[in-house]
Amino acid sequence: MMSKFSELINQDQPVLVDFFADWCGPCKTLAPILKQVKEDLGDKVKIVKIDVDKNQALAAKYQVRGVPTMLLFKNGKQVWRQSGVLQKNDIINVIKTNG
C-alpha cells in the first residue's frame, strides 16, 4: 500500500487524501461535501479516501490521530492538512491556493 500511495500522490495534479473511518460521524458528513468538490473541480483534483482502520501504517506515517483528516499533496509533497469537516468552498479554495 505504501509504494502504491507514494505513486498516487506523486503527480502534478493536486491529490486530496481523506483519512476516514466507518464509525466516524463527521466522516459521513464530509463524504458528500468531497463529492461536490470533485464535481466542481473535475480533473483539477484527485480525491482519495483512506480507511484508517484498514491502513494503520499509512495513518501512522502521516500522524493521523483523529478522523476525518484531510491532506493535500502536490508532486508527492504534503502542502496542507486539516482535521475535521470543512465546507465545500473552503476545500475548493485550499486546492486552488495550493494546487
Catalytic residue among 9, 15, 17, 27: 27
Query: Catalytic residue at 99?
Result: no
Cell numbers found for residue 66: 483523529
Is 11 tagged catalytic? no
Give the active site residue among 8, 21, 24, 85.
24
Enumerate the active-site residues.
24, 27
